[in-house]
Structure 1
Amino acid sequence: MPTPAGRPVDPSSLLPAEARALFRSGLVTPTSGWSSGYAQANLIIVPKAQAFDVLLFAQRNPKPCPVLGVLDAGETSGALLAGGDIRTDVPKYVVYQDGRKVDEPTDITDHWRDDLVTFIVGCSFTFESALQANGIHVAHIDQGVNVPMYQTSVRCEPAGEMAGPLVVSMRPIPASQVADAVRVTSRYPAVHGAPVHVGNPAELGIADLGRPDFGDPVRIPEGHVPVFWACGVTPQAAVMESRPALAIAHAPGHMLITDARDSAYQVP
């Protein structure tokens, strides 16, 4: 049940449709830890004229951009959000014009066009329940903040007019559990899978873990190692660099909660 402020006492227990209804009614919150057992997803929405470049960019960069589904031009719902509306059912969006952020609405109905194509991209929040089930704490959940995300010096493979850097999310893991974290997350290739880097952030071109490009910094306890996963904010970094006339995405950390089970994306 929601609290008087609108936030549920236990967001992990909500069904996806219940969570989406709260977001539709105006609740704004990062979604890590919500609707345990269900996959979360990034969004990148572009005019049909740019959709092939986005699809090719995702195909060439599957680690940060694993496509779970696509809504055709003008479609606002689909199998991953049955009965939902892609324009209203995410806590917060970002609207880009010519690569510049011009709005962060909670509803993109006023920005909607019938030629917009929605790409639903896998998110590492999906495997966090599996990490926790294996006794691995997730710092941003424990600390009640958004996950820290960083632009790196690693370049993605370009596609048409789309080009940009790899973005990563970071979770500090006890040194003794890093191998377990790699093993657990490698079973979820459709939602970024195993880490892309463990240890020294400078090797990714990250100068200061305390200053993420997206999300919030987290405290890194003694004996913990920074572990980096490819992140579905990567297409937004490409939008900012490539400057299409229009693109819409989720606000980083404010994900689409889908009706798909985590287990649907787990491999043996």
Structure 2
Amino acid sequence: MTSMDAQRNTDPRKPLFSRFRDLSREQLNVELQVHTSWTDGRATVLEVLQTASERGLAELAFTEHVREETSWFPDFKDEILSAAPRFDNLRVYVGCETKAMDDNGSLDVSQSVLDACDIVLGVVHRLPDGKGGYLDFDKLSFEETAEIEFRLSMGMIKNAPIDVLAHPGGMSLRRHGRFPEHYFRALMTATLERGIAIEINSSYLADMPAFLALCGEINPFVSIGSDAHKLSELGRCRDQLIELGVGRS
């Protein structure tokens, strides 16, 4: 077994990401993108932990939205670390979701937040105009949106201190219902080359089977996340993957 075939992470604080074809059913039993009432989620940290435990999840990552000026992160982390020991059946991670600011991989997050995280999700949420503002999605074609989103994503993969490229193609998928296959293919290949994970996200993917087929072909490291904002969404991605027959018994 080569180092590329093995799980990629040696930091004991961080989740271990496996390559897609190596996933077992046990490794599907995680939820690595969760939001709470600290930002735009609808449940507290404690409510999330209780529900995740009841649903038999083995690992859970709190990945709150952050900005460079975010000042509440230490209190957020303290709340998680205070509550988590009561759920000894759950491995709990403190993380963040941060957006790309340019094609070079700059992120809208402070170094202090990055240092406090066990897992960092890099995403495209807005399309910077290069002048300190953002482009208007309504004035962009599908092709323009997808191309800009691809460039921003590649910048994060190549240069940003992220563990996961989260909801790849998400802005194009939300606004146009699709993202070009050749872009997905290139993103998966680039994440594999760097040794970071690409997210299987049940909230954004319009065609989960097609995305999984590409994963089967390219075999990237993968992270599993439902982008859970409500308690009812916890474990949704796990359940969909099981229904689709993913994972070795």
**TM-score scaled by length of structure 2:** 0.28
Higher fraction of helix: 2
Higher relative contact order (CA 8 A, sep 6+): 1
Provide the TM-score with structure 1 as the length reference.
Answer: 0.27
